[in-house]
Structure 1
């Protein structure tokens, strides 16, 4: 089969296009999927470059770093084996099943849940892996995954549109769940023009919250279509003044970087900060006095509960959320697609299709 194969940590040159890669066979409880489309996400970039290593302290650049720790280059703080086929956000058709998997799945259109679990202990976060990281994923014509990691989706959306949901929207829903967002909250979303940012806007609105989006002014019209109550520039010099009289109870952040202290400083007493990324840089200035004197709560969000994926699928089928598909590239042009993703060339999600 055709596949884009990652050969090691480093720059985009670490991807090698192969048209003779062995087609996988489904094992026990697995399904074989003919990939229709696969979304890109930050995990793909950060795993390729080794950005998750504590040896790296700069922002996500998408390029190779001078030093990457050998013991902690992935999201889970452990090495992975190469060659590896990345790609977590698969939509496609089941063409075969392994022993124990339901044959009725053959011919069904499905989307994947990227969190791999020990199904005898599914809530144990220490026993999780990620599709396209700890095992081969969807940057190929075919892929295999446990049948319990897929959902049959009833939707008129295209494969490419559906492939925008799995990572971005489950990440966003997981963040909002950890922060306990309700209709009593005002949620500030930095980076609202990105895939997760746009999902945060929609999903927070679905919960009835008031939403303030932050994005570069060139992208305000596109962000406006997601339905925020207010849109601010990406990094106002005086954030409190830009907010006017708004009181922010939740900051939902995947940006981090040097602007981070200003985000924390405007949280109201008893406010919550939830985080699932640091694309502008993982090292921030943290004033503990603001943290404890304001009675703030911080939550990190990576591994999500299985029901979060189930909720997102239900929202799709109800039409409660919509895809933000920015561009589709041929799988053979994955390097160009990922560079566009890194450069934030587009507003929303980018997918590749075999």
Structure 2
């Protein structure tokens, strides 16, 4: 490892939020004695400046990824073994600067600013990822001052118009999931796409990505967020409340045409309503109805009549993480300025408990991403975007 390439030696210990077990925010312990990781061969050590918070942080912490036993408190183990072990530093969407490099990595990369492709890929294949895992789950992530990651997954983004906090808000956890939802549904230009959970990180990413692909996104949210979502690219915003009239209101927004594809982040009792928006007047359709599922904020169990699925030939795609190729495409769009950050605000790393509570209890004005900034980086990268209790500190 080339620590000597830095003008100042790296510290031996760092501040980090260490998760000590499954449970509430009390399981998150802010420590100042965590060893600074050493980058191995092919890795870089990143000094973290901002890390976006994702709902998966909470779900993994609370053990809300059961497999067969719905009563289990666990996390997913797609590769066959549990990788979410304790203590663990969470945080997947990391922005920062390379502070040191491991063997085989050019030392000229030191100082580069970039964004992490958050995946722990099982192999080198570019177009498939069947056992998804990620930094902050199967390996330590960005709720710390430093993190070691593969050099080829830390992508340089030196756009001066993007602050580090904004770059973190463009992180792969949301944008790659959103893009993989669209590619899994084979969404094409001109198609009508219903985007559920539209005000969150994946939802706002879906709206932007639909427009890049030439598709027309219809957002499911609340009237309070309609103006912001339409400014982001939504063709119309459909109020998620009043279930009996939901399908009628979606069809009114589309001019009576059925939705071509649904991006479902909600689940629960809403899924059957979402399917209804696609199977109205099948003679008008040119493609099969498609449902991409990547979340269950409205409930982990949905009751669906299978006759409606096979008779209407609904294609269903379960979506977790995307691929290396999709991540690289997203980085190109970020560098080109085609994707815009939707940053709600920032919290200090030491205030992660407050950030978690804010995220769970977020109000009607919430839109986009919260980022977590190490206390040592706060004045430079967090204070301009201070949120909640931080507003009095900035």
TM bracket, shorter-chain basis: over 0.9
Distance, in Å, in 1 between the alignment partners of 2:127 and 2:208 is 27
User: Is this contact kept in 2: 1:47–1:75, CA < 8 A?
Assistant: no
Counterpart in the other structure of 1:206: 212
Instruction: Normalising by structure 2, report the TM-score.
Output: 0.83
Contact 1:217 1:234 in 2 (8 A): no
Residue 352 (1) aligns with residue 358 (2): no
Give the match's secondary structure for 1:21: strand
Task: Answer yes or no: is 1:220 the counterpart of 2:222.
Answer: no
Aligned equivalents of 1:246 and 1:344: distance in 2?
Answer: 34
Match of 1:39 among 52, 71, 86: 52
SS at match of 1:138: coil
Q: Is residue 347 of structure 2 the alignment partner of residue 329 of structure 1?
A: yes
Q: How far did residue 19 of structure 1 move? A: 1.3
User: Is the 1:3–1:141 Cα contact (8 Å) retained in structure 2?
Assistant: yes
- Indicate whether 1:108 and 2:112 are aligned: yes
Measured against aligned partners, the alpha-carbon deviations of 1:318-347 in whole angstroms (never above 9, x if no partner) come to 111111000100011111112222223321
The separation in 2 between residues aligned to 1:132 and 1:81, in whole angstroms, is 10
Q: Note if 1:21 corresponds to 2:34.
A: yes
1:214 and 1:123 map into 2 onto residues whose CA distance is 30
Q: Answer yes or no: is 1:3 the counterpart of 2:10.
A: no
| DSSP-derived class of the 2:197 partner | coil
1:181 corresponds to which of 182, 187, 199: 187
Tell which structure's C-alpha radius of gyration is larger.
Answer: 2
Whole-angstrom distance in 2 between the partners of 1:181 and 1:131 = 29
Q: CA RMSD in A?
A: 1.7
Partner of 1:152: 156
Q: Which residue of 2 aligns with 1:300?
A: 318
User: Alignment partner for residue 260 of structure 1, among 255, 271, 274?
Assistant: 271
Structure 1 residue 285 displacement after superposition: 0.6
Moved over 6 A (4+): none
On the 8 A contact 2:44/2:151 being kept in 1, the answer is yes
Q: 1:223 to 1:152 in 2, by over 3 A?
A: same
**1:39 and 1:16 mapped to 2: Cα distance?**
19
What count of residue pairs does the alignment treat as equivalent? 343
Moved more, 308-317 or 77-86: 77-86
Quote the Cα distance in structure 2 between the aligned partners of 1:278 and 1:128.
Answer: 18
Q: What is the CA–CA distance in structure 2 between the aligned matches of 1:52 and 1:11, rounded to whole Å?
A: 15
Structure 2 unaligned blocks of 5 or more = 1-13, 283-287, 375-394
2:253 is the alignment partner of 1:246: no
CA shift in 2, pair 1:314/1:180, >3 Å: same
Match of residue 64 from structure 1: none
For 1:239 and 1:85, locate their aligned partners in 2 and report how far apart those are by CA, in whole Å.
Answer: 41
Partners of 2:132 and 2:320 within 8 A in 1:
no
**Which residue is equivalent to 1:285?**
303
Q: By how many angstroms is 1:213 displaced? A: 0.5
Alpha-carbon distance in 1 for matches of 2:308, 2:81: 33
Query: Deviation of residue 104 (structure 1)?
Result: 2.0
Does the aligned pair in 2 maintain the 1:37–1:160 contact within 8 Å?
yes
Q: Which residue of 2 aligns with 1:62?
A: none
Correspondence for 2:336: 318
Question: Residues 319 and 236 from structure 1, CA distance in 2 versus in 1: closer, same or farther, beyond 3 angstroms?
Answer: farther
Q: Take 1:344 and 1:56, find their aligned partners in 2: how far apart are those partners?
A: 30
Question: Unaligned stretches of 5+ in structure 1?
Answer: 58-66
Instruction: Name the one with the larger helix percent.
Output: 2
* TM-score between the two structures when normalised by the length of structure 1: 0.92
